[in-house]
Amino acid sequence: MAYSSKVIDHYKNPRNMGSFPKDEPNVGTGIVGAPECGDVMKLQLKINDDGVIEDARFKTFGCGSAIASSSYVTELVKGKRIEEALAIKNSVIVQELNLPPVKIHCSVLAEDAIKAAIADWQKRKGIKPAEKKEEAA
Amino acid sequence: MVKLPIYMDNHATTPLDPRVLEAMMPYLTTKFGNAASRNHSFGWEAEEAVDKARAQIAALINAKPKEIIFTSGATESDNMAIKGVVEFYKEKGNHVITCVTEHKAVLDSCKALERAGKAVVTYLPVDKYGMVDPDDVRKAITDKTVLISIMFANNEIGTIHPIAEIGKIAKEKGVIFHCDATQAVGHVPVDVEKCGIDLMSLSAHKLYGPKGVGALYVRSKGPRVRLTPLIDGGGHERGLRSGTLNVPGIVGFGAACEIAGQEMAEEMQRLTDLRNRLQAGIFERLDEVYLNGHPTERLPGNLNLSFAYVEGESLLMGISEVAVSSGSACTSATLEPSYVIRALGIDDELAHSSIRFGLGRFNTEEEVDYVVERVAQEVNRLRDMSPLYEMAKEGIDLKSVAWRRD
């Protein structure tokens, strides 16, 4: 299977790859997927008190499309308010990276990672999660 | 400078040896006759060429020329052997014994027979090296058993089964023994007499011959093996496989077998050395790399490794100028890793991390050294990117983590 040029670019030059120090305040961490399924994504979001995502980091175990999906998501969420980030649909990732049908699950995982990271930040801040429940497309 | 891309996937297919192509050329051009045309010189020269190839192939496996039945490849040979025996011996019994790491051509033939209600199949397990225990074969035999089908060497992990022992048990119990020897013939010594093999599948393109041609060895004496043909028609190949013979392909197959036989001893040593160099180079540069398959009883050119914390497909993408293959089937909807690797009982995470290197006749030391460096470089880069590697380095037991499976 041939990869799209955008997937290759993210794979070769991952954006915001790495981790924030563990004890850093204002960081929410989302880890989704499972090793036995061949995909694990860790997404960290640094969110200020106004609810704006200032910075992001990712680490991913998975195929090239999984790495590209998480790399792209770090670019996508930066500067967004958490409500805006929570509204990001996996279809945006599919479109940007030109993912074939067999790789849609990578984009779903990346969308889940955003939600998990924000939920973790809200938990740490003692904020009640948003009432509206988003479903993966 | 090493020439790129590098082909190191010789279990999938091998390049055509130029000497084989040379042998084939006349039969692709001027000598185009139908081997079944008995009444003119075009037919005679084609038939003569087929007879020569039949003898070349038989010599490599210690068979008689008339025991070689030409097919389109090993998949057809496997189907023909399994379905043909079960159909022919249906009055005698309906039980088949095979093993979980067989090629899909064997497994799916068995499953088709089960679905049709024509056979009951026992799928034997393998040990952690991928080897079948001959004792398990013996214990599985019942008075209804008509066929044992165990491969010579596995296509993913290279493990060579104790074929001679299984053949002996089959003889003792009077059960027909089919062996899919696609990966072994031409690479390691295969002797149908010494191994007690009654039916054997072969393929030309795995030993530097052309694609689209293979054979089924069918024992003619002690016992004489009978089977119902899959393909009916003009009665070619003693009625076992109708259809005009692929003369250029068969000529190439014969030439490939002769070359393989002549060069085998030397080539086995050369490939073993190259394989050991590849393995040692990678183990020197990286920690947490695991060998899949048997440490010694394996095909000379095979090296199957799992690189912990790195997903196989992403590693393939990183070393895209090197053609190797991954045991991870992340492209499939099920996200299942290779059934062969899983059958070894290793963790799914490691199964997702497996890479198969298949060295062959045209690989060089220089290529091996290049691959060692590139693999080490990419694995290190991907481990830096891997949350699992980070967690493991922090001392977190990955098995204790409550993963979110969506």
Q: Which chain A residues have a beta carbon less than 8 Å from that of B390?
A: 19, 42, 59
Nearest C-alpha in A relative to B314:
A63
Q: Which class for B369: exposed (0-12), middle (13-18), buried (19 or more C-beta within 10 A)?
A: middle
Q: Which of B137, B153, B157, B134 is nearest to B145 (CA)?
A: B137
Query: Could you read off the pLDDT of B185-239 as tens digits, one per residue?
Result: 999 999 999 999 999 999 999 999 999 999 999 999 999 999 999 999 999 999 9
For residues A34 and A61, what is the distance between their CA atoms, to the nearest angstrom?
9
Task: Place B333 in a pLDDT band, splitting at 50, 70 and 90.
Answer: very low
When computed from its CA atoms, the radius of gyration of chain B, rounded to whole angstroms, is 22
Q: Is B405 within 8 Å of chain A by CB?
A: yes
Residue B365 tokens read as 């030391």
In angstroms, how far is the first alpha carbon of chain A from the final one?
A: 24
Nearest C-alpha in A relative to B327:
A38
For residues A44 and A29, what is the distance between their CA atoms, to the nearest angstrom?
4
Q: Is B195 a catalytic residue?
A: no
* Summary mean pLDDT of chain B: 95
Q: Which of B96, B210, B198, B203 is nearest to B153 (CA)?
A: B203
pLDDT of B406 above 60: no
Query: Could you read off the pLDDT of B347-381 as tens digits, one per residue?
Result: 888 999 999 999 999 999 999 999 999 999 999 99
Contact flag B384-A3 (C-beta cutoff 8 Å): no
Q: Is A39 within 8 Å of chain B by CB?
A: yes
Q: What is the pLDDT of residue A137?
A: 43
pLDDT of A1 above 90: no
Q: Is B71 within 8 Å of chain A by CB?
A: no
Query: Could you read off the pLDDT of A8-63 as tens digits, one per residue?
Result: 999 999 999 999 987 788 999 999 999 988 899 999 999 999 999 999 999 999 99
pLDDT of B334 above 60: no
Q: Which chain B residues have a beta carbon less than 8 Å from that of A66?
A: 311, 314
Contact flag A61-B331 (C-beta cutoff 8 Å): no
Q: Is B164 within 8 Å of chain A by CB?
A: no
Helices of type H across chain A: 5-12, 64-77, 82-86, 90-97, 104-125
Whether the CB-CB separation of A13 and B381 falls below 8 Å is answered with no
Contact flag A105-B384 (C-beta cutoff 8 Å): no
Mean pLDDT of B328-342: 68
Which amino acid, A83? E
Q: What is the pLDDT of residue B374?
A: 98
Least confident of A121-130, B39-48, B204-213, B254-263: A121-130
Q: Is B406 within 8 Å of chain A by CB?
A: yes
Residue B231 tokens read as 């393909």
pLDDT of A136 above 60: no
For residues B96 and B324, what is the distance between their CA atoms, to the nearest angstrom?
34
Mean pLDDT of A90-101: 95
pLDDT of A85 above 50: yes
pLDDT of B34 above 70: yes
For residues B157 and B154, what is the distance between their CA atoms, to the nearest angstrom?
6
Give yes or no for a cis peptide into B65 (omega within 30° of 0): no
Task: Place A128 in a pLDDT band, splitting at 50, 70 and 90.
Answer: confident
Task: Place B328 in a pLDDT band, splitting at 50, 70 and 90.
Answer: low
Q: Which chain B residues have a beta carbon less than 8 Å from that of A41?
A: 387
Q: What is the DSSP letter of B185?
A: B
pLDDT of B327 above 90: no
For residues B124 and B142, what is the distance between their CA atoms, to the nearest angstrom?
14
Q: Which chain A residues have a beta carbon less than 8 Å from that of B389?
A: 61
Contact flag A59-B332 (C-beta cutoff 8 Å): no
Contact flag B406-A39 (C-beta cutoff 8 Å): no
Q: What is the pLDDT of residue B326?
A: 86
Q: Which of B254, B221, B256, B215 is nearest to B237 (CA)?
A: B215
Q: Is A63 a catalytic residue?
A: no
Q: Is B387 within 8 Å of chain A by CB?
A: yes
ipTM for the predicted complex: 0.91
Q: Is B280 within 8 Å of chain A by CB?
A: no
Q: What is the pLDDT of residue B332?
A: 46
Residue B391 tokens read as 């967690």
Among the listed residues A93, A104, A106, A108, the single catalytic one is A106
Beta strand segments in B281-362, E: 289-292, 302-307, 322-323, 325-326, 354-358
pLDDT of A132 above 60: no
Domains of chain A as residue ranges with CATH: 5-123 (3.90.1010.10)
